[in-house]
Amino acid sequence: MRGSKAAAAAAVGRERDRLVALSERLHAHPETAWQEHRACAWVAGALADGGFEVTERYLGLETAFLARAGDGPFRVGVCAEYDALPGLGHACGHNLIAATSVGAGLALLPLADELGLTVEVYGTPAEEGGGGKIELLDRGAFTGLDLAMMAHPAPVDVAEARPFAVSHSHVGYRGKAAHAAAYPEQGVNAADAFTLAQVAIGLLRQQLPSSVRVHGVLTNGGEAPNAIPERTEGRWYVRAETTTELLETEERVRRCFEAGALATGCTLEIEPESKPYAEFREDAAALAAYRVNAEALGRRFEAGGAAARMNRASTDMGNVSQVVPAIHPYVGIGSLPALNHQREFADHCVGPDAERALTDAATALAWTAVDVARDREDRLTGP
């Protein structure tokens, strides 16, 4: 096993400059959910150049791909994310996720015959609210994997993923425009409807459990100050500890939006932006292996504090974990005091600390796959 791990680490070392260049290229050209055309091509191209057979437009999704190598009985899948945040670029570090996943795949490729592996790297679009992995799941992706894994940048290293389940909704009110000074009584104010709903949600929070989060933004508040707004829109997230708790909370939040419509006479429209993201189901054996492997590379895990709370962030990888064994550790990039989804965090997603996190995470993921594959083989062959 030591020989396999040494070979994997050596492969990451050989590819280091190309992996860093890929990460920097993605970082310099951010693309948002479902629009990651260049990113998808660059990541898939790096795997094709490394010897993978690549299926583009995987399962009919324009910015998804599947890269596959080997034909062994143990199927390991590595998920690459590459979408950016609107207005914030790669402030969640998906440029590093993509390059890390490429690195892990290339590290496992030369070991496929020795370990009996089929190595699959999935290009998964639209993690930032679009639910790309859920769309892929619904079309048959990931089925039958023995292990799915990825590593996510964070301020500090945290092994265990404990994300909230989350729903994403587009909320709109339609009223009636009128001159705000001459004929205000002729208007039906859609901005008032949103204000009332937000106040109701604010009051509801006192009765919500600590495991719930409700938050959103107004994306269209009206057109002109002298016209009663006839159309307002927003995007709202509801998060909860479990999918069951999420469904219960969603109903209570919906009644707040209905209150805004009832009070003003507006019409309410609520449309899901994706299917809900599920909570994460960790594979204990793979997680333990990752922890040991990361520590062997000099990584140190945080037990608490604000910087470690990134492991509560929702992810559509949670839905994958409900179907196949999975891990989703967080790798620190030394960004403090900057945290995920801040512009300053995006700045830290390139540079020496980010480069070390990339190569360490790629190596640790590959080593983890080696451990899990060997353990499986030992169980099958027996004493």
Average pLDDT over residues 124-130: 94
Q: How confident is the model at residue 141 (pLDDT cuts 50, 70, 90)?
A: very high
Could you tell me the two tokens for 27?
Answer: 């970082």
The position carrying tokens 């999918």 is: 243
| pLDDT beyond 60 at 382 | no
Q: Residue 41: its pLDDT value, please?
A: 98
* Neighbouring-strand partners of residue 149: 78, 327
- Return d(Cα 259, Cα 243) in angstroms, integer: 25
Can you give the pLDDT at residue 2?
74
pLDDT at 375 over 90: no
Fold (CATH) for 165-272: Alpha-Beta Plaits (3.30.70)
Tell whether the model's pLDDT for residue 1 goes beyond 80: no
pLDDT at residue 307, as a whole number: 72
CB contact burial 210-224 (16+ within 10 A = b; e otherwise): eebbbebebeeebee
Listed residue (25, 61, 27, 64) closest to 44, CA to CA: 64
- Whole-number percent of the chain with pLDDT over 90: 93
Average pLDDT over residues 152-159: 96
Residue at 348: amino acid letter: H
Question: Under a CB-based contact definition with an 8 Å cutoff, are residues 133 and 30 in contact?
Answer: no
Buried b (16+ CB within 10 A) or exposed e, 160-191: bbebbbbbbbebbbbbbbbebeeeeeebbbbb
Tell the residue number behind the tokens 């992996």, with chain if given: 19
Whether the Cβ atoms of residue 95 and residue 357 lie closer than 8 Å to each other: no
Question: Residue 282: its pLDDT value, please?
Answer: 95
Check if the beta carbon of residue 160 is closer than 8 Å to that of residue 301.
no
Q: pLDDT for 279-329, tens place per residue? A: 999 999 999 999 999 999 999 998 777 777 888 899 999 999 999 999 999
Q: Would you state the pLDDT for residue 309? A: 85
The pLDDT score that the predictor gives to residue 140 is 96
How far is residue 335 CA from its own chain's centroid? 19
Four-CA torsion 222, 225, 228, 231, nearest 10 degrees: 0
Three-state SS for the chain is: CHHHHHHHHHHHHHHHHHHHHHHHHHHHCCCCCCCCHHHHHHHHHHHHHCCCEEEECHHHCCCCEEEEECCCCEEEEEEEECCCECCCECCCCHHHHHHHHHHHHHHHHHHHHHHCEEEEEEEECCCCCCCHHHHHHHCCCCCCCCEEECCEEECCEECCCCCCEEEEEEEEEECECCECCCCHHHCECHHHHHHHHHHHHHHHHHHCCCCCEEEEEEEECCCCCCECCCEEEEEEEEEECCHHHHHHHHHHHHHHHHHHHHHHCCEEEEEECCCCECCCCCCHHHHHHHHHHHHHCCCCECCCCHHHHHHHCCCCHHHHHCCCCEECCEEECCCCCCCCCCHHHHHHCCCHHHHHHHHHHHHHHHHHHHHHHHHHHHHHHCC
Domain boundaries, given as residue ranges, for the chain: 2-162+278-381, 165-272
Q: What's the pLDDT score for residue 30?
A: 97
**Per-residue pLDDT for 29 more than 70?**
yes
Please tell me the predicted confidence (pLDDT) of residue 381. Answer: 64
The contacts of residue 31 (CB under 8 Å, 6+ apart) are 37, 38, 39, 82, 83, 84
- The CATH number assigned to the domain with range 2-162+278-381 reads 3.40.630.10
Question: How far apart, in whole angstroms, are the C-alpha atoms of residue 158 and residue 348?
Answer: 18
The pLDDT tens digits for 241-284 are 999 999 999 999 999 999 999 999 999 999 999 999 999 999 99
